Structure 1
Amino acid sequence: MDDNLGLVHLLRAVTVEFGLRQAEFAAANGMHPTDVRALICLLDAARADEPATVGLLGTRLGLNSAGTTAAIDRLERLGHVERVRDPLDRRRVLLRVRPEAVRLGQEFFGPAIDALLGALAPLSPAERDTIRRFLTAAHEAFSA
């Protein structure tokens, strides 16, 4: 097999395993798999200092308005997300992941994240940059 194609297959295997862990997390916490993706999107928005609006979440998840609202309602009922008024524009509602949801995610995914960080630790900055470039290109290929 072509070595490049082997890398693509390895990336696919990683994404499949990650998806399985997401499904396990969802089932263990009474969530739909879309709810886990929604939490990830909201946490990513917070890390990027982006306003986490209903519209942003719907776009990132590829859901219509009704589907987005249903996911938010489920997460709110479970106590994982809260709707808050934007302090800069009181007409706009922002979504915030509650600390309890962050804790649940850290408890479940923390060991795997720690293992990944351990695998990256011995790599040189140049090697990490190569991985970053490849993963960025993979992300762009699938989000185009």
Structure 2
Amino acid sequence: MSKQSLIGEITEAVVRFQNATDRVDAAAASALGVNRTDLLCIGLLLRSGGLTAGQLAVEAGLSPAATTAAIERLEGFGYAVRTKDDADRRRVLVTATPLVAGRVEKLYGPVRPSGTAVLSRYTRAELETIHRFLVQGEELQDREAKRIRGQSV
């Protein structure tokens, strides 16, 4: 197989992987009773340990109004709380609740050992290449999202 053909195969595999990831996330959002935006916010809150509304808006790529609506929905489900920041009492932090942390772990927890088993089949050099590809791919996707947001069709 030529290098160009292999690049084409990899490109198609990435698209299929992204679609499969979307199917998992759609199933998880449905199980949690939230929409995909809310699921994104839950993930960001869990990974960060807490964000201000402004930080959440930037990380999720949402407008301030959409962020406020998402926070209110998550609070309504018992999935997020707003608390005063200990470091700056004027700031309000949004954090995920233990309820949603437990539910997310139940849904996504089994993925970790399965993914580890797949990755364990690769050599260290292959894993370094995969890691580099994923980091560079994330940067590419972020640049493309920014480019697309700046366009009107």
Same fold (TM over 0.5): yes
Question: Once the two structures are superposed, what CA deviation does each residue of 1:114-143 show, in whole Å capped at 9, x if it has no partner?
Answer: 210111123333222111100011100010
Q: Which residue of 1 aligns with 2:124?
A: 125
The aligned residue for residue 40 of structure 1 is 43
Report the counterpart of residue 99 of structure 1 in structure 2: 98
3-state secondary structure, aligned to 2:110? helix
Q: Percent identity, aligned pairs only?
A: 31
RMSD: 1.5
Partner of residue 88, structure 2: 89
2:82 matched to 1:79? Answer: no
Aligned residues: 140
For residues 96-117 of structure 1, what are the alpha-carbon distances to aligned partners after superposition, in whole Å with 9 as ceiling and x for unaligned? 1112211111111122222101
Could you tell me which runs of 5 or more consecutive residues in structure 1 were left unpaired when the two chains were aligned: none
Q: Which position in structure 2 is the counterpart of 1:64?
A: 63
2: CA distance, partners of 1:43 / 1:130: 28
Runs of 4+ in 1 over 4 A off after TM superposition: none
C-alpha distance in 2 between matches for 1:31 and 1:98:
15
- 5+ residue gaps, structure 2, are 144-153
Higher alpha-carbon Rg: 2
